[in-house]
Amino acid sequence: MKQVEMPEYKVYDRVVLKKQETALVIVDMQNDFAHPDGRLFVAGSRKTIPFIQELLKKARQKDMKVFFTQDWHTKYDPEFKIWGEHAVAGTWGSEIIEDLKPLENEFSIRKLRYDAFFGTPFDLYLRAFNIKNLIITGTVANICVLHTAGSAVLLGYEIVVPVDAVSALTVFDCESAFRQIDFLYKGKLVKTEGIEIE
């Protein structure tokens, strides 16, 4: 098999964002993906939890808007032909992991497909709150994170993706997603510690 060299992408040292214009988005950190007993467990997701917790703490201290996305499927969803049954609405697998439990004033966007904007009120909420920037974290990097990031940019939002707060099934999947976010969507990649909220 031919070896492919991954193109480089830029990682910023520091990104400064205004709290009133910025929302934190935590993609699909649900039991079925981020708990060892989950049906589609992403092992790398466990390493991202402390970084997402750090961003969540910052967001809550600054009174920023926080959105959790959840895969939310009916029992007969056609997506199960691809992945098998997972994140069935109302089950343990569909719940956000205990380490990142949403507060009452935080939002859950329940989605049927990879993209958190597709068929959901997500864009309406963001515009109602005059949000311009999204910090996008979670799993899976090259699937739900990337599709959500892509739609965000095409809808006019600026995106920031902390590289240590995103996971995928393989290193290649993660790296290729970061390349696309940088190259295709002009998003800003940065480490969690480099994100400043003012």
CB 27 within 8 A of CB 69: yes
pTM above 0.95, yes or no: yes
How far apart CA 21 and CA 126 sit, in angstroms, is 9
CB 27 within 8 A of CB 139: yes
SS (H, E, C) 84-124: CCCCECCCHHHCECHHHCCCCCCEEEEECCCCCCCCCCHHH
- The domain ranges of the chain are 11-197
Percentage of the chain with pLDDT > 90? 95
Q: What is the per-residue pLDDT across 9-53, written as a single tens digit (0 to 9) for each? A: 999 999 999 999 999 999 999 999 999 999 999 999 999 999 999
CB 97 within 8 A of CB 30: yes
- Domain 11-197 belongs to what topology? Rossmann fold (3.40.50)
Place of tokens 């998003």: 187
Q: What is the per-residue pLDDT across 109-120, written as a single tens digit (0 to 9) for each? A: 999 999 999 999
In degrees, rounded to 5, the angle at the alpha carbon of residue 111 between the alpha carbons of residues 78 and 159 is 125
The residue type of 105 is N
